[in-house]
A and B are shown apart, each in its own frame.
Chain A
Amino acid sequence: MADIRIKKGHDLKLVGKPSKQLGAINHGTIVRLHPVEFPGVKPKLLVQEGDSVKKGSPIFFDKNHPEIMFTSSAGGRVENIVFGERRRIEIVEIAVDDNAEEITFESFAPDELSGLAAEKIISILCSSGLWPTIRRRPFSKIAEPGKPPKSIFISTMSTASFAVDVEIVLEQTPLDIMQAGIDVLQSLTNGAINLVSPKNISNSKLVELSNVQRHTYSGPHPAGNVGVHVAHIDPIKNKDDSIWYISLQDVISIGKLFLTGKVDYKKIITVAGSAVSEKQHYTVNRGTIISQILSNNNLEAGARIISGDVLTGSISNMDNAIGFYHESITVIPNMPKRVFMGWISPGFSKYSLSNTFLSKILPKREQVFTTSMNGSKRAILPIGAIEKVMPLNILPTMLIKSIIANDIETMEQLGIYECDPEDFALCSFSDASKMDITGIIQDGLDFAEAEG
């Protein structure tokens, strides 16, 4: 058990926090799957347009791992399949029929779970469509079923902006379901199940869980990132090392599956950001499209809809489903104002981690952010700003240079396998040269995976 305090980092103070209120959103008339959101997966369709599907029916699988199924969160009829460039499957759309049947799986009594064979667990998780909720480091791709990890990390804390309040999730979930999910996962590794939670949490359920190593973290973002936890508790040493990680809500889904034999596609998300009117928590189904999630909401004209959080989420739109791994919909203004001679303004209302604006000496207030770059892209200028928000034991400037130079050996020695783009999001944010540091890290990981 570790209790770690992170010093380097920053909690963004943004306007648009979600309230603790929890609403429910119906899955609506259509649900969508986006095969492109799973990096490294080569999707092969199992359905055609016009096919009827049950709730839980497999829709496509991964050619590299044919046992891993991706399933429909609602029963109905396959309405539309959209292909992109080079016949990449972008969208599978299913028209929902509420009377459709549901696929069921074997169910177990709580005390049977600890003794289950790994093969059986893998087979149930893969065919139910819940396997993809388990990802691995390095590379943040879906876990490989045949290669047990040295340990599994469950994060109950997210320090990202507008993240789901873990207390709400805990309130909604009976202890035995969480315990069931953990017992199932325990069979998948010979190592520990590391449960990382915030240091100050009022709900006592986490303490009552057994079969886990508990760790607590505190400090500014990215203190809640899995990469930061792994680095202290069970660091990735090389390319062949691996840990798996999964979010608390997905552990709960797995627990429900094994206890009831049914997949519960629900998860709690937040809707937040300064450009949306009803900022709160909602229960939604996976695959629910964003226009349905925001149907009771007013959006600012032209606003950017982000599936995920403001640092690491992806640009989305009303017709897309909420991302498979995302637990937030963030909406921010998308019309940067062009300020006259902004580079020399005193900057009473500018948000910066640098000390170059007078806002630094004013009391900290929450700010409205637009999608403005706030500057133009320039050559790398190492003034030490990115080091201030990098809690990992990494030399970021050196690592970035080795990636740009495609120097695989140095990249590996500097710890590329411990890195994930999300851990560098604040570096991108604070860099005065406006470099795409998260993109560079992703390139480095792709290169290292292919060549290393």
Chain B
Amino acid sequence: MKFLRNLLDKVEPNFIGNGKYAKFYPLYEMADTFLFTPADKTKNGPHIRDAVDLKRVMSFVVIAMLPALLFGIFNVGYQMNPNGELRDNFLVGLKIVLPIILVSYTVGGFWEMIFAVVRKHEINEGFLVTGMLIPLIMPPTIPLWMVALATTFGVVIGKEIFGGTGYNIFNPALVARAFIFFAYPGAISGDRVWTVDGISQATPLLQASSQQGSQALELLGNQFNWWDMFYGFIPGSIGETSTLAILIGAAFLLITRIGNWRIMAGTLLGMVLTAKLTNVLGEAVASSNPMLFLPAEFHLVMGGFAFGLVFMATDPVSAAQTDRGRWIYGLLIGFMCVIIRAINPAYPEGMMLAILFANAFSPLIDYFVMKSHIKQRLKRFAA
């Protein structure tokens, strides 16, 4: 360690002041503070600071995604060969998933660096999370150039043009997915993209949405039962299939208090209530739309709902930022997700659009929460 420290101290003069590579200070800062806790001292009160920093917060979010990632890697192999050995399935999956992760981190990191150098600010750890989210919400068959393009779009258009981490309106990873969804719909929807060997294999959501009326569940049950979907042995985007693995990550985020429980609870509640509503509605009008009959517990384990709830909706920057606002924001996501799934059969995957929709509304939600807070303050003074 001493050697590394000495090396860093030796090259530091090149990166500061009139040093040869002063422009690339963000790179040095990144390496330096990655390897050793920063040397910065407090300049005024408070003279002491909490041990937590953004590096730790962001890397903990990545840790929370690991169960979903590991299961996702395995499941990619499993979908190709359900009878294969666990180890073989994992290795097959690794060969497909690892390049996607590498492309996402490399391309995203490249843009982060460019913007950090041009804007003369430090490289933000937020990309650790975005760079992992993007692969997890891609189908395993996604071409690597498309990952690169989508990552570029997500980072540059989704984040940097708004001013960088902390200023973005939308979740950059979802912007990346939305980009592919609208630019190359064939690569991310339909029944041909979820398994690598070309066998057409629709996701449970797609299957359900193509059934007739209230028999949706019976027909669905022939192929996938609830527990399969809960454990995650189903086709789908790499990280989204296993509700169990995602819930482990959720527990980690809640215990460490990095993920906001109000957003998670709000989203879940919004989904359950809206699903109940559509169920009643479906019965009442004797609709032939199968998605109206899907019970809440199936919404939970199908498609990207759980993944979006735990890892996307909780992005503190694009979510509402007041406690009451977080409830409303969550409820809106849960509501919109079910509505999109049920009312618009063309988009059986409602979660992505629901979250992007709520992202767009979160400043407005905060605005109204703030207004009501101000009103309540005035009332206190009047009393």
Contact = CB atoms under 8 A, between A and B. Distances in A.
Interface stretch (B72-80, B145-153, B228-236, B372-380): B372-380
Interface in A396-452: 397-398, 410, 413-415, 421, 425-426, 428-434, 436, 438-439
Given A344-B59, A356-B60, A376-B53, A371 B321 contact: no
Contact of A351 (B51, B55, B60): B51
Nearest to A387: B323
Main DSSP-derived SS at the A contact region: loop
A241 to B, nearest CB: 9
A220 interface: no
Contact of B56 (A12, A343, A436): A343
Interface stretch (A86-94, A140-148, A207-215, A302-310): A302-310
Interface stretch (A125-133, A177-185, A245-253, A333-341): A333-341
Interface stretch (B96-104, B254-262, B335-343): B254-262
Given A304-B47, A439-B44, A376 B38 contact: yes
B280 interface: no
Contacts of A414: 370, 373-374, 377
Contacts of B44: 314-315, 436, 438-439
Nearest to A304: B47
A312 interface: yes
B317 interface: yes
A365 B55 CA distance: 25
A369 B167 contact: no
Interface of A: 12, 14, 235, 237, 304, 306, 308, 310-315, 330, 332, 334, 336-344, 347, 350-357, 369-385, 387, 393, 395, 397-398, 410, 413-415, 421, 425-426, 428-434, 436, 438-439
Contacts of B223: none
B240 interface: no
Contacts of B366: 398
A430 B50 contact: yes
B48 A432 contact: no
Contact of A311 (B33, B35, B39, B45): B45
B29 interface: yes
Given A343-B59, A356-B56, A438 B46 contact: yes
A429 B46 contact: yes
B27 to A, nearest CB: 14
B226 interface: no
A311 B47 contact: yes
B258 A340 contact: no
Given A393-B377, A395-B373, A354 B50 contact: yes
Contact of B49 (A235, A342, A374): A374
24 contacts: A237-B381, A311-B48, A313-B47, A315-B44, A336-B37, A337-B37, A338-B38, A340-B1, A356-B52, A356-B57, A369-B47, A369-B48, A372-B49, A373-B42, A374-B51, A375-B49, A376-B33, A376-B38, A379-B166, A383-B260, A395-B322, A398-B321, A432-B56, A434-B54
B8 to A, nearest CB: 9
A352 B258 CA distance: 13
B164 interface: yes
A379 B42 contact: no
B124 interface: yes
B124 A339 contact: no
B53 to A, nearest CB: 2
A131 to B, nearest CB: 25
Given A379-B165, A398-B321, 12 more contacts: A12-B48, A306-B45, A306-B47, A342-B37, A343-B53, A351-B51, A375-B55, A383-B316, A414-B374, A414-B377, A428-B45, A436-B44
B49 to A, nearest CB: 5
Query: Interface range on chain B: under 10, 10 to 19, 20 to 34, or 35 or more?
Result: 35 or more
A330 B46 CA distance: 12
Contacts of A370: 48
Given A340-B35, A375-B53, A382-B316, A308 B45 contact: yes
B58 to A, nearest CB: 9
B20 interface: no
B349 to A, nearest CB: 28
B122 interface: yes
Contact of A383 (B35, B57, B374, B380): B57
Nearest to B373: A395
A311 B41 CA distance: 14
A393 B167 CA distance: 26
Contacts of A311: 45-48
A375 B52 contact: yes
Interface string B119-132: 00010111000000
B36 interface: yes
Contact of B316 (A306, A342, A347, A381): A381
B54 A381 contact: yes
A376 B30 CA distance: 10
Contact of B51 (A338, A341, A350): A350
Contacts of B370: 395, 398, 410, 414
Nearest to A431: B50
A434 B166 contact: no
Given A374-B50, A378-B165, A398-B370, A342 B36 contact: yes
Given A350-B51, A355-B257, A393-B380, A374 B37 contact: yes
B54 to A, nearest CB: 4
Nearest to B326: A384
B166 A352 contact: no
A332 B47 contact: yes
A395 B52 CA distance: 22
Nearest to B33: A376
B42 A371 contact: yes
Contacts of B166: 378-381, 433
B167 A434 contact: no
A434 B380 contact: no
Given A342-B36, A378-B124, A384-B323, A310 B48 contact: yes
B95 interface: no
A399 to B, nearest CB: 10
Nearest to B377: A415
Interface in B239-259: 255-258
A191 B52 CA distance: 45
A371 B38 CA distance: 12
Contact of B37 (A332, A343, A356): A343
A436 B260 CA distance: 23
A357 B381 contact: no
A432 B57 contact: yes
Contacts of A426: 46
B46 A312 contact: yes
A338 B45 contact: no
A334 B41 contact: yes
Given A315-B44, A413-B374, A432 B50 contact: yes
A316 B34 CA distance: 32
Contacts of A353: 50, 52
A336 B39 contact: yes
B316 A373 contact: no
